[in-house]
A and B are shown apart, each in its own frame.
Chain A
């Protein structure tokens, strides 16, 4: 016991440093539009926020619930199309679209999740992938609604004005960053709350040993469905938000590119770890932009990196940190 207490005392300075770092990071995230020198940098900031949200949504279903889903890109595309069709063609308020998108994706992911989760792990992967590819084909071919490959341009800006407090103009990327932060930050908190509490532990238990979890009275399929639906709704919301950033939506929104980005972020960061995945979303979104590599070579590099990580370090950076922490803890004991 004393050894353990001592170990905590020893680590106290480390903890203060971590808290200080956290406060500095939070400050930088909130003040980014003031600190950013130009539009290019702030747009990278917006993409980082968007991928941070998406990556955590994917982390919930893959890292925690252990279901490799390719449908998340599909849900995010649905969200984007809800924004585009709702605001541009039906004349709804952008904020109404932002509310419809997650609800629709929640319902839709439930609808797909129930049959898909009944079958084997392999079939789940393939059904979810087929769903996303199908959605892309529908977006491309159902021209009456989606205008096909021409896409839906000219989405209205997502603006917010609270008299006397803030006037944020969605057409201005510096303002859009704050609007995005206003939506993504609470979303990340909700996802963190799910992952860090009992629910996250239940999901991890289901992931590690389905039979054992079932023997403990855990309703495996219901929890998997819960993770799938929450993750789907989150992706829908982020997709709806992203649509207003792009202001044009075309079938490319369902591209495998987004799935590949999510995979590299979550797997390099460490599936099932919140903070290292958050860090990885910054690294993998911002770094290639700053290094100015062409998109094709960037994906070649990501592919090589993904192959190396999955062969050499399948639990990612988060797994590496966890192992190190456990080793130190054992040594202290």
Chain B
């Protein structure tokens, strides 16, 4: 067995997993607090990538500043979406939430297609294309930077949720909405925070990955599938679960793709989800909605 290949696949898988984790945690957060499965998540991701294109190609922002600014921009989009549309959903209207977010995704994606067009766009950061080489394994600086950003941001989110009133309110609302309301929390405000944070994270992920891909309006569609699989595997609404599942999926994909084929890569993720649902219908960590 070629150990440097296995090591390479391991590294690729971990990096992929770290970035998936950002997207999946955003999805999980919105589901945990609002009980909305955000079907516009893929389009929000694409919007983040487009914000990055605009900020770096037209304003000339460096990578990290561009990623941070895009994340903020998309967080604002999340705030607008919550205030304008999502806050009108009542709890227990699960299908309505899906259809509403799907409609939002339709509008975002097709507006992008109609205005920006389907031509792929590129972002260049020549200074980030160097590779680190060691023991026959290599890693691009850009991928490494993206993964480090993902880990730092995830750490930040963890700290927010565990140690600030802002985050604890979200956890409380996800665990017991009634009790949270009784002790004086404003469910609408907290839900708004969850949408802002969740969408901001996804926009950030889109922006940090933008230089690795060609950016076009359908960018998020294939990612959405993986984000959903991750959230199901981790247990809907369970945030650490989503992060762990993201790593598992990243690794599974990297190994299936490296040792098998690209077809196997996608089938592996789906098969993992179906098998797991049979063994543990609530996902790896699922105990109902819980962050």
Contact = CB atoms under 8 A, between A and B. Distances in A.
Nearest to B99: A310
Given A260-B102, A263-B102, A296-B114, A307 B274 contact: no
B37 A122 contact: yes
B85 A133 contact: no
A123 B96 CA distance: 15
A297 interface: yes
B231 interface: yes
A118 B100 CA distance: 25
A311 B236 contact: no
Nearest to A144: B263
A302 B99 CA distance: 12
Contacts, number: 114
B88 interface: yes
Contacts of B278: 115, 118
Given A263-B102, A306-B106, A131 B270 contact: yes
B110 A297 contact: yes
Contact of A125 (B37, B100, B270, B274): B37
Q: Is the interface of A mostly helix, strand, loop or mixed?
A: helix
A141 B225 contact: no
A121 B267 CA distance: 23
A123 B106 contact: no
Q: Is the interface of B mostly helix, strand, loop or mixed?
A: helix
Interface string A274-309: 000000000000000000001011011011101100
A26 to B, nearest CB: 32
Contacts of B224: 133
Interface string B83-96: 00100100000111
A119 B281 contact: yes
Contacts of A122: 31, 37, 94, 236
A310 B36 CA distance: 14
A259 B136 CA distance: 46
A327 B236 CA distance: 41
A131 B274 CA distance: 10
Contacts of A299: 106, 109-110
Contact of B99 (A256, A297, A306): A306
Contacts of A133: 221-222, 224-225
Contacts of B231: 126
B273 interface: yes
Interface residues of A, number: 38
B267 to A, nearest CB: 7
Contacts of A260: 102, 106
B95 A141 contact: no
A141 B266 contact: yes
A297 B115 CA distance: 10
B228 A134 contact: no
B277 interface: yes
B179 interface: no
Contact of B94 (A121, A302, A310): A121
A311 B99 CA distance: 10
A307 B225 contact: no
Contacts of A126: 37, 228-229, 231-232
B4 interface: no
A120 B98 CA distance: 15
Contact of B277 (A123, A129, A256, A267): A123
- Which of B88, B228, B231, B278 is most buried by chain A, counting CB atoms within 10 A of its CB? B228
A137 B271 CA distance: 14
Given A296-B113, A311-B88, A134 B225 contact: yes
B262 interface: yes
Contact of A294 (B114, B262, B274): B114
A129 B107 contact: no
B185 interface: no
A121 B282 CA distance: 12
A200 B26 CA distance: 39
Contacts of B65: none
A314 B270 contact: no
B128 interface: no
A125 B225 contact: no
Contacts of A125: 37, 95, 98
A304 B103 contact: yes
A122 B95 CA distance: 9
Given A296-B111, A306-B102, 9 more contacts: A118-B281, A121-B95, A126-B229, A138-B267, A141-B262, A260-B102, A300-B107, A300-B111, A310-B100
23 contacts: A68-B98, A119-B277, A122-B37, A123-B232, A126-B37, A126-B228, A127-B273, A133-B224, A133-B225, A137-B266, A256-B221, A263-B102, A294-B114, A296-B111, A296-B114, A299-B106, A299-B109, A300-B107, A300-B111, A303-B105, A307-B85, A310-B99, A311-B100
A-B pairs, top 6 by smallest CB distance, nearest first, are A303-B106, A296-B114, A303-B107, A306-B103, A133-B225, A307-B103
